[in-house]
Structure 1
Amino acid sequence: MNLELTADCSRCAGLCCVVPAFAKSVDFAIDKPARQPCPNLGGDFRCGIHRDLRAKGFRGCTVYDCFGAGQQLTQETFGGADWRGRPEMLSAFPVMRELHELLFYLTAALALTLPKAQHDALLMARDETHALTGGTPDELIALDVAPRWAAVNDLLIRASASVRATAPGPRRERRGADLVGKDLRRTDLRAANLRGAYLIGADLRGADLGWADLIGADLRDADLRGARLRTALFLTQPQVDSAKGDRATVLPNGLRRPAHWA
């Protein structure tokens, strides 16, 4: 199975620059309605300020990831067409992105050491989700992804619990916790449940987040300098991109150090 779960903008029609809406804020320099192209998008579907997005007030763009949905939809579903001639692409893109995000988490879970029954259930869910990405435009647009999210989320919760139950650490239960701006320097957060936790601006310098479940954790402006995340569970590139870090931050294999880090 060939799963492309990393965005390749050179093979996409700039869908992430068209479909989402954004409001003028600290993350975006302008207002843009949904399904309207960003004024920085060129006729070649490339961003005209890509190298200077943060400097020009478009930090929000730097933390967005389609998990490879853009090129899948452009090249496979629509055979190389673009949204100017096939506007239904704009309706299919959010669905494809959700499916690819699900595939990212399922693939990450399958890399864990789990009981055979759990591994087999995750593998089946990944195969079923992958099959949905091959649907026609009409099938994608009509697809309700919510039930699949619910089913997959249950599998991910069980996988996380299995791994954290045998991992070293205090295994703190902080799911959905409000940790905004908290001083968590050098805290032992190994095997912690931080799913959906609000860690905006939290000071996590030198913290150990090995085997911590970070699905949905908000890491915007969290200080990860010197933090240890090599074995963190379900950490995504957008989460890393939204945080602060340095050369001493230890990331999981497959995630890159953002250019704006010290």
Structure 2
Amino acid sequence: AHLSDSKFDADREEIIRRAFDAGIDAIVEIADGPLEWPKARALAAAHPGKIWWAGGLHPYHADEASDAVWKRLADIATDERFVAVGEIGLDYAKCPVPRERQIEAFEQALDLAASLKKPLVIHCRDAYEDLMPVLRRRAGRLGKIPGVVHCFSGNAHNAAELVEMGFVLGVDGPVTYPNAHALRASLEKIPAEAMVLETDSPYLPPQSRRGQRNEPACLPEIGKCLSAVLRRPPAETMPIWRSNSIRVFGLNPR
């Protein structure tokens, strides 16, 4: 989630309370750029045992990448509640940062994650043709659990190859959209054990909240839809997805 987003300024604590009331017992707060890192760290510190955080350079921030910026992230990543490097990755949809610069920053982020021994949260939009070769070159050096491909939107071949590499696929609100036939087809043969649920709040709300602000309490709707895609009951899949998140990020919710 992105709970530090200004869209939550008026009721952030209420949103967090609703998430816990909905049965969610752990949230990973994602900080996409240097200005967001201290906000995410503070939010996690205010909710010990409930909220953890990840920091990276989203493709939209890739032109900010420098040795000094990566060192700053490495320094703040010593925080005990820091669990992953991300979002990082490639975005060829609308991102104004040149593709070559995005790839360069992504490679640097992979190096940082390896040095920190932390999993990744990878953002990829319309860029799997370049993402996959980068990850293939790193095969064997990504760690036992490399991380999450956030809001997966690739094809069935991408899905299978990423899972073979050890990644888990993050599934968000778009899986609930009536026209998301291709996405559901890409996921239907992937085992639940290779997925995690996400909301990307306040973005990408599930179908029942289209056009509205998304929030972590919407996670059960996403889980119910994905369970139907996999033809398994939510009572069976939801505990799996919770365990996957705990395993990937090393969480200890209480």
If the length of structure 2 is used for normalisation, what is the TM-score?
0.28
Q: Tell me which protein shows more helix as a share of its residues.
A: 2
Larger radius of gyration: 1
Q: Which of the pair is proportionally richer in strand?
A: 2
TM-score (norm 1): 0.27
| Structure of higher RCO (CA pairs closer than 8 Å, 6+ residues apart) | 2
